[in-house]
Structures are given as structure tokens and as C-alpha cells.
Amino acid sequence: MSKAFAMIMAGGGSPGLSVLTEVRADAAVEFAGKFRLIDFPLSNCVNSDIYNVAVLTQYRPQTLNTHIGTGTPWDLDLNQGGVHLLQPYRGGIYGDWQKGTADAVRRNLDFVAAQQEDYVLVLSGDHIYSMDYRPLINEHIANKADVTLCVRNVNTFDTHRYGIVSINNDNRVYSYEEKPKRAKGCLANMGIYVFRKEFLIEMLTEHNFNDFGRDLLPFVISNNYRVFSYHFPGYWADVGNIQAYWEANMSLLAEEPALDLYDTGWVVHTRSMDKAPVLVGAKAKVADNILSNGCQIEGEVSHSVISSGVIVEEGAVVRNSILMRNVHIQSGCVIDRAIIDRDCLIGAGSQVGVGEDIVPNAELPSVLNTGLTVIGRARRLALGTVVGRSVIIHPTHGVKAAPEVSGEIASGASVGRAER
């Protein structure tokens, strides 16, 4: 039996992922043509012999709930332990919805207290990495720590995105700044924590902390509790914005990618669909791609991530793009630097990602400003539609199909409206 059980924070819907999280939680976003982000912490748990896992949901949980189900793909369909989907609720002493990661755990303290393990492993549901949690837990126990947080070095221009940690020679944390404008260092909090269970219950019962990074950590560090760091040297990606998400997918196409999805000693499990093998037509041209089962390639595809069920017709060209499940690219289309969510139809002769005009998107300039264009779920582009760069086409919401997109969409424009 493991010394710890896991709680995965999977209730967020980051605006930084634009249209991808208008219809699903962050943790349910597809990755690498096959997986969803939640697959990585779930797989890390079972590969680390942790078979008691709670997933805390809130924002648009349907896709996530369906994907996880009873936990069978991860061998978490157990009578003792297994996967527990802890759904949000309103009312009672807590009133409204969850206000942050710490508040989400507080609302489930009855579950925490009922577990037999002495330690709680708290994870984010939307990070991409492969990690054995056992050395982390063992080091936490050896240090007699109240809290241990995983850290890694980040670039100086990225420090404003993270909590920044200062440590002494024995890795004890003596200072913490949450997303500082001017950081004192480059050692970043990864959002992976180990707590003594009784300490976590005490902190969340006696204090009104909403967030671990913003509220709890500064308090316990300043009050001289035993807070230690654990340095993780491996690949780790926080894909909380469109650019980071696109880069993480594209990095898989390197000759020697930093994240090895083919490591038989550390398998990333997922819920797989029964699909036919990849079909590459006689006239097709493919180079430097990830092609998932069930896709049919008759055109030209290069440096792209193609999910299952995608169809690229003869005469179509796809470059530097991510096409999610069941996207259909008709003949004569040219797709460049685009992320197209599932079930979209791109009509014949359309162009997506046109021109050299790299302007920020007018609606979300801080989110989309590098020329990537994103098209939301189940949208249809009419024949001959021309879409510029840094364009957002919002997804279909509900059961009624959104109007067909047609004509010319200028760079930096948006079509439709966000619904969160």
C-alpha cells in the first residue's frame, strides 16, 4: 500500500486556452493526437503505485467525467481505493462554488479524513510530465516536513507566471512570492505538493485559505512550519495558454523529444477508441507528423499533430498545425499554424492562417499574439473561406449548430462570442 493518496485539481477552465476551454475543463483538453491532459497525472500515480486517487472537478466537467469513467484505462476500477470523482456543490456551510485549490480540498475534507494513508499528494490536472512520485514522498517523510513542494528552474522572462521559491542549503523554503512582477530568483513552484494529512486538515479547518500558492504557502513559510522543496529535473510543461500548448505539441516532433511518449517503462494510459489504422493515400505527402489511428491522409501534411478520425482530402495542405478528432479538411484547403478543435469542417478551397500580418487578436491580445489561429469545436467554414492569423472562431455551444463561417476574416479578428 502506498504511503499517500492523490488529489488531482481538475476543476479549472483557463481563459488562456481560449476556445479549447469554452466547452471543457483544462484537464480534458486533448494532447498529442491521442491523450487528454488529465492522463499524465493519472498515469504518473499508477506508475508510482498510487491507486487511491481523487479527481476534483468544477468547470464544465462532462467531458472529463466521461473520459475517466470508472478508471479502467488506468487500472483504477477497484473496490478498495481506485478513482473518485469529487463533484462540486453549492450550499451548506460553504455557500457558493470553489474559490481556489485549497478551498476545493476544504470542501472535501470528509473524504481526506476518511483515507487510511498518512500523506496527501496534491496535483494539477493540466500539466504535462512523467514523474515517479515515490522519491518525492520518501524525501518528504525523511525531512519530517509539513509540506513539500516540487520546484524547477524557469527562464527569467517566465517568472511572472509562477510562484517563485527561495531555499537554503538543505532545501528548506524560507521565502515565497506568488507570480511576482520582479522575481528574486528563478526557482518555480510546479503545483505539486505533499502534505502530512493531519497538518492539511488542521490548516484548512482553522484558516480560510482559498489557494495553496497564493494563501497557504506564504502563511506556513512565514510562520516557520517545516516547508521543503523537491527539485524535479525532468520535462514539465504548464500548458495554460495557447502558445505553450502549441509549443508542447510541436516539441513532440523533434528528433529526440524531451517527453518520451514511447517509453514502455512509463506508459501514459488513456481511454482509447476502436479505430482503424492510419490510411495514407497513394498521392499523399507526409513528413514529420504524429498521425493517430483512424485518420485518413490523402493530401499533404507536414510538422503537424493529427488526431484520430481526421480526414485530409487530396489537394489539401496542412502545415505546423494541430487537428483534433474528426476534423475534416476538404480538397484545396491550406492550413498553416492553426489549432482546430474536434468535429470541424473546413470547406473546399478555404485558407486558414493567411498572410504575414502577425497582429494580436483584438478580443484577447494577451492570449493570441504570435500568429496562431484557433477554431472552436464543431464550426463549419464555407467553401473558399479565408482566415487570417491570430484569429479566434468561437465554438458551437449547446445542441444548435453555430452559423457557417464564410468570406474573409481579417488577422486579429474574432467570430462568435465566448461563453464561460
Delimit the domains of the chain by residue range: 4-251, 273-420
pTM, 2 dp: 0.95
Q: What is the pLDDT along the chain (420 residues), one digit of tens a residue?
A: 689 999 999 998 888 999 999 999 999 999 999 999 999 999 999 999 999 999 999 999 999 999 999 999 999 999 889 999 999 877 666 667 888 999 999 999 999 999 999 999 999 999 999 999 999 999 999 999 999 999 999 988 888 889 999 999 999 999 999 888 888 889 999 999 999 999 999 999 999 999 999 999 999 999 999 999 999 999 999 998 999 999 999 999 999 999 999 999 999 999 988 899 999 999 999 999 999 999 999 999 999 999 999 999 999 999 999 999 999 999 999 999 999 999 999 999 999 999 987 899 999 999 999 999 999 999 999 999 999 999 999 998 877 788 999 999 999 999 998 776
Instruction: Characterize the bridge pairing of strands 351-352 and 386-387.
Output: parallel
- Grid coordinates of 323: 487537428
CATH 3.30.9.90 fits 4-251, yes or no: no
Are the C-beta atoms of residues 14 and 240 closer than 8 Å to each other?
yes
Q: Rounded CA gap, 8 and 10, in Å?
A: 6
Are the C-beta atoms of residues 329 and 314 closer than 8 Å to each other?
no
Report the topology of domain 273-420: UDP N-Acetylglucosamine Acyltransferase; domain 1 (2.160.10)
Handedness of CA 122, 125, 127, 128 (dihedral sign): positive
